[in-house]
C-alpha cells in the first residue's frame, strides 16, 4: 500500500449528491479536498431518466444533474480518485487516514457520503438470473424489454418511477407491492394510474422467479395465500437500499440497519469524521436532503477543523 504523503483538509468518501455538494462547499472555503469514489460520480441518481423534484429544474436527467455537480467540483479544483475506501484509521483528533486497496491517504477530517446500494430480495436463482431478466436499474436495462411484459417490485418512489419509465418501453408493466397502498409520492401514483398498460398487483409478495437460462415469469402470493403466475420477460427490483458503511463499522457507530447513527445528522461518534446523505439514518432520502446534508457536513468541518 502506498502512502501519498499529502495531508488533505478533508477526504470525502463517495461522489454522489451529498459528497459532491460537500466538496463544493469545502473547496469554496479554500480547503484542500480529495474525493474517493469506488465506481462513477453521481451515485444512484445517474440511473434516473427524469428528475422532477429538485429545486430549480422542472425536469432534468439524473446523469445531467450529477454531471453539473461534478463539473462544479472540478472547476473549483477538487481532486477525485476512483478507488474503493476499505477502512479508516484514527491517528489523532486532527489526523485521520483513509485506506483503499491501493493507497493510504491522510486528512484532518473525513466526510462519509457512501450512500446505499440496491437491496435484493434473496429469492432462489436471483443471482443466477441477474442480467438474464432480473435487473435493478430500469433506465439501464429497460430497452432490452421493448414490447415485452415486465414486472416491477416495490412501493416507493423508485418503483413508481421505474414503472412509469418502463410503461413507455414495454408492452405491459405489473407493479407488485406487498402492501395495499404505495409509499411513493402521490404525484407518481396518480400518474401510474393513468397509464393503461400498468397493472397494480397490491398486497402481494414476489415468491418465485421462473425460468432457467432467462426469466420467463414470476409467482406472486397475495394476503389470502392465493398464488398467481404471471408470464414476464423481465423483473425490475426496487425494494430499497443497503447502506455501504461496513468498511467503517470498526470505529463508526451504526444503527441496527447499518446506517450511521448521529445525534444531529452530521457528526459521527468520532471527532473529525462527519456523515452526509443516504449513508446516515434519516427519514427522508431525497436528492435535496442529500445536498443539504453535504452542505451542513462541510460547513461543520470548515468551522471545526483548523
259 secondary structure, DSSP code: P
Tell me how far CA of residue 142 lies from CA of 45, 79, 194, 238, in angstroms.
16, 34, 20, 14
Question: Which residue's C-alpha cell is 502512502?
Answer: 3
Give the catalytic positions in this structure: 137, 140-141
Residues near 36 by beta carbon (within 8 Å), at least 6 away in sequence? 11, 12, 13, 14, 80, 81, 83, 84, 85, 98, 100, 105
d(C-alpha 50, C-alpha 72), whole Å = 21
Q: Are strands 149-153 and 234-237 parallel, antiparallel or unpaired?
A: parallel
Give the orientation angle of helix 17-28 with respect to helix 287-304, to 10 degrees. Answer: 40
Amino acid at each position: 500500500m502506498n502512502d501519498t504523503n499529502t495531508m488533505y483538509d478533508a477526504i470525502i468518501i463517495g461522489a454522489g449528491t451529498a459528497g459532491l455538494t460537500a466538496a463544493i462547499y469545502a473547496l469554496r472555503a479554500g480547503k484542500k479536498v480529495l474525493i474517493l469514489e469506488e465506481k462513477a460520480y453521481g451515485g444512484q441518481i445517474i440511473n434516473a431518466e427524469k428528475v422532477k423534484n429538485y429545486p430549480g429544474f422542472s425536469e432534468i436527467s439524473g446523469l445531467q444533474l450529477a454531471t453539473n455537480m461534478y463539473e462544479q467540483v472540478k472547476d473549483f479544483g477538487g481532486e477525485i480518485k476512483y478507488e474503493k475506501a476499505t477502512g479508516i484509521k484514527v491517528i489523532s483528533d486532527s489526523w485521520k487516514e483513509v485506506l483503499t486497496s491501493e493507497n493510504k491517504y491522510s486528512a484532518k477530517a473525513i466526510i462519509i457520503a457512501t450512500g446505499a446500494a440496491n437491496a435484493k430480495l434473496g429469492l432462489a436463482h436471483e443471482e443466477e438470473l441477474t442480467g438474464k431478466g432480473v435487473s435493478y436499474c430500469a433506465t439501464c436495462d429497460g430497452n432490452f424489454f421493448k414490447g415485452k411484459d415486465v414486472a416491477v417490485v416495490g412501493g416507493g418512489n423508485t418503483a413508481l418511477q421505474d414503472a412509469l419509465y418502463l410503461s413507455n418501453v414495454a408492452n405491459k408493466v405489473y407493479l407488485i407491492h406487498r402492501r395495499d397502498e404505495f409509499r411513493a409520492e402521490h404525484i407518481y401514483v396518480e400518474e401510474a394510474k393513468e397509464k393503461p398498460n400498468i397493472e397494480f398487483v397490491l398486497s402481494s409478495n414476489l415468491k418465485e422467479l421462473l425460468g432457467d437460462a432467462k426469466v420467463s415469469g414470476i409467482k406472486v402470493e397475495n394476503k389470502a395465500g392465493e398464488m398467481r403466475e404471471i408470464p414476464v420477460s423481465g423483473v425490475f427490483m426496487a425494494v430499497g437500499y443497503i447502506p455501504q458503511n461496513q468498511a467503517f463499522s470498526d470505529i463508526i457507530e451504526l444503527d441496527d440497519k447499518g446506517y450511521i447513527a448521529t445525534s444531529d445528522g452530521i457528526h459521527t461518534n468520532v471527532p473529525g469524521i462527519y456523515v452526509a446523505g443516504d449513508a446516515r439514518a434519516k427519514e427522508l432520502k431525497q436528492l435535496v436532503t442529500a445536498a443539504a446534508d453535504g452542505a451542513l457536513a462541510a460547513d461543520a468541518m470548515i468551522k471545526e477543523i483548523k
